[in-house]
A and B are shown apart, each in its own frame.
Chain A
């Protein structure tokens, strides 16, 4: 039986690695173009929209990392037994998504090496980006400590690293919200909403991704879910429904102050989402795919199955990717200088270039590639009570 599955698995594995390699190659070509021609020529960024899909993809990856850490810590730190099965995989993927996120941001920065130098020898302690980078650095170290503790099976160490990592994750991640939230000039971003919203949306990301890795691991190996994993899937599904229910109200309360009384600039940015150039992304991907359908799947007893939770997780992940994109673009879509003529405020335009999209695809592939290798070579089972 196992010989048959090995034979059947091999072409699938080849196809999987081939797909990942193709995406990474496309990204490498795009990076080559950037190095040869410069960011300005290759990316569709402008003076007025200097942050594009690479920044939103960076946000997507680091949100995923935080979410994975928070959800995985439910078992090792907060004592929810159902979540202990996800400890190793969750923390490993948290490390990989964080590293991939850093990589995507390095592609967006014009001088990533200068950053490494001057962030240390010339730090600006009033800069949210400086704090974000530093806190994520601390978080990465703690994640590695936690993963090591889980791999050597030290419950005490994993508790200590997990607890510290939990607070580092929330500090770093809410600080990422502050990178946007502390810009007084950007009415759509400014305020304390984003740091708080980022923590909640990380939980949604984490719930979705932990369900996906459990399901696809078993699927790829052709083994059925054990009772522990079945219980985990149903618990994470219920929890995910709760997170999504709260997230919907976060979105509603982000939209209402944006349209109520038509506050200048905030109103135009919000309307770009509600009925403007970002409306399809917002209503279809964010609301329908990212929240409503997964929520209905998870609250319906007939679809609250491991497969249903996986589908909901996949939809959530896609929706969250668009949430990050829309958030980054909507904040910049209203020009800082008033336009000429009568009529409504002119909105700026941005659509990612082929090279930007290739780098995004390569980043996703790179993360999946590293994760697949880890699954092949590291003992990911264990580290929990069976």
Chain B
């Protein structure tokens, strides 16, 4: 049994809102064109301060690969599953297109792909991980916002980052136990 638990740690102060992660993801995973179709995103946070002293942060996000995933819980046909490494998956042939998982996800991390005929979402680029490569969004980021790794390994970069710096998750009140951690 694998003890791996994949996670991403994000340092949002480094984000330029260049959206290279979204472009890389779309190209890598053949995500259909159109603004509705995306596996990851960058949210523009509200402006801080008053002119001329202004500040703004950008928060990249994607499926949080929750430890307590509502999408998995509600799927009537078990099309949504979880890999031994904690990746939330969609079995396309089982997806009936009820979109219950889309209404259940507090992060709006899923979309319905007409091309696949199923709900689609981030897989941490599982096909790349199998080849020993990083997810496309992690690899392409010019300022290295994202760090990907295995939380089961205390020596991994993600484990060390989380040990060193305070961090938060999105919508902790949902009880979803997300595996995307944002350094504070």
Contact = CB atoms under 8 A, between A and B. Distances in A.
B96 interface: yes
Dominant secondary structure at the A interface:
loop
A365 B182 CA distance: 53
Interface size class of A (residues with CB under 8 A): 35 or more
B101 to A, nearest CB: 9
A293 B70 CA distance: 41
A123 B41 CA distance: 32
A50 B77 contact: no
Interface in A221-261: none
Contacts of A22: none
Contact of A109 (B96, B108, B110): B96
A129 interface: yes
Contacts of B44: 340-341
A51 B99 contact: yes
A377 interface: no
Nearest to A340: B44
Given A123-B78, A129-B76, A184-B174, A336 B108 contact: yes
Contacts of A111: 95-97, 117
Dominant secondary structure at the B interface:
loop
A145 interface: no
B160 interface: no
Contacts of B100: 127, 129, 179
A204 B20 CA distance: 54
A137 interface: no
A185 B96 contact: no
A239 to B, nearest CB: 35
Contacts of B133: none
Nearest to B106: A185
A129 to B, nearest CB: 4
A332 B108 CA distance: 11
B174 to A, nearest CB: 6
B103 interface: yes
Interface in A207-226: none
B98 interface: yes
Contacts of A115: 76-77, 96, 98
A39 B99 CA distance: 12
Contacts of B77: 114-115, 118-119, 122-124, 130
Interface in B109-158: 110-112, 114, 117-118
Contacts of B94: 114, 118, 122
B103 A332 contact: yes
Interface string A168-199: 00000000000100111110000000000000
Contacts of B175: 184
A118 B96 contact: yes
A106 to B, nearest CB: 10
Interface stretch (A40-48, A82-90, A92-100, A274-282): A40-48
A176 to B, nearest CB: 13
Contacts of B98: 109, 115, 129
A179 B76 CA distance: 11
A225 B125 CA distance: 69
A10 interface: no
B169 to A, nearest CB: 15
Given A115-B98, A185-B103, A337-B108, A127 B114 contact: no
Contacts of B104: 183, 185
Contacts of A340: 43-46
B74 interface: yes
Given A50-B102, A114-B95, A332-B103, 12 more contacts: A47-B112, A48-B108, A115-B76, A115-B96, A118-B94, A123-B76, A123-B77, A124-B77, A185-B103, A335-B108, A340-B43, A340-B44
Interface of B: 36-37, 41, 43-47, 61, 70, 73-79, 93-100, 102-108, 110-112, 114, 117-118, 174-175
24 contacts: A40-B112, A47-B108, A47-B111, A48-B108, A110-B95, A115-B98, A118-B96, A122-B79, A123-B77, A124-B75, A129-B76, A129-B100, A179-B100, A182-B74, A183-B103, A184-B106, A185-B70, A185-B174, A335-B108, A336-B108, A337-B43, A340-B43, A341-B46, A342-B46
Q: List 10 tightest A-B contacts by C-beta distance, closest first.
A: A110-B97, A118-B77, A340-B44, A185-B106, A50-B99, A336-B108, A130-B76, A115-B96, A129-B76, A127-B76
